[in-house]
Structure 1
Amino acid sequence: MQLNHYLNFNGETESAFNFYQSVFGGEFSMLTRYKDLPTEDGVFLSESQRNLILHVSLPINEFTVLMGSDVHEQFCSPANAVLNKGNNHYISINLEHDETETRRLFNLLSMGGLIEMPLQKTFWGALYGAFTDQFGIKWMVNCQLENE
Structure 2
Amino acid sequence: MQVNPYLFYNGNCEAALKYYEKVLGAKIEAMLTHEQAPESMPVAPDWKKKIMHAKITLDGEIIMASDSPPEYFHKPQGFAVSLTVEDPADGERKFKALAEGGTVTMAFTPTFWAKGFGMCVDQFGIPWMVNCPAEGM
Question: TM-score scaled to structure 2, two decimals?
Answer: 0.89
Q: Which amino acid aligns with 1:94?
A: T
Question: Does residue 120 of the first structure (1) align with residue 109 of the second (2)?
Answer: yes
1:48 aligned counterpart, secondary structure: helix
Question: Does residue 70 of the first structure (1) align with residue 60 of the second (2)?
Answer: no
Tell me the equivalent position of 2:43. Answer: 45
Cα distance change on mapping 1:89 and 1:26 into 2, 3 Å: closer
Deviations 1:88-116 (A, max 9, x none): 420011123x1111111101111011101
Higher Cα Rg, which structure: 1
Question: Does residue 86 of the first structure (1) align with residue 76 of the second (2)?
Answer: yes
Size of the aligned set, in residue pairs, is: 136
Deviations 1:43-101 (A, max 9, x none): 22111111110111111112x1121101137xxxxxxx4322222420011123x1111
Q: Which amino acid aligns with 2:98?
A: L
Cα distance change on mapping 1:9 and 1:118 into 2, 3 Å: same
Structure 2 counterparts to residues 1-148 of structure 1, below 5 A: 1-40=1-40, 43-62=41-60, 64-72=61-69, 81-96=71-86, 98-146=87-135
Q: Which amino acid aligns with 1:136?
A: G
1:127 aligned counterpart, secondary structure: strand
Q: Work out the CA distance in 2 between the residues paired with 1:25 and 1:141.
A: 15
- Identical amino acids, percent of aligned pairs: 32
Q: Any unmatched runs of 5+ in structure 2?
A: none
Q: Work out the CA distance in 2 between the residues paired with 1:136 and 1:48.
A: 22
Q: Any unmatched runs of 5+ in structure 1?
A: 74-80
User: Pairwise CA RMSD of aligned residues?
Assistant: 1.8
Question: TM-score scaled to structure 1, two decimals?
Answer: 0.83
Q: Work out the CA distance in 2 between the residues paired with 1:46 and 1:125.
A: 47
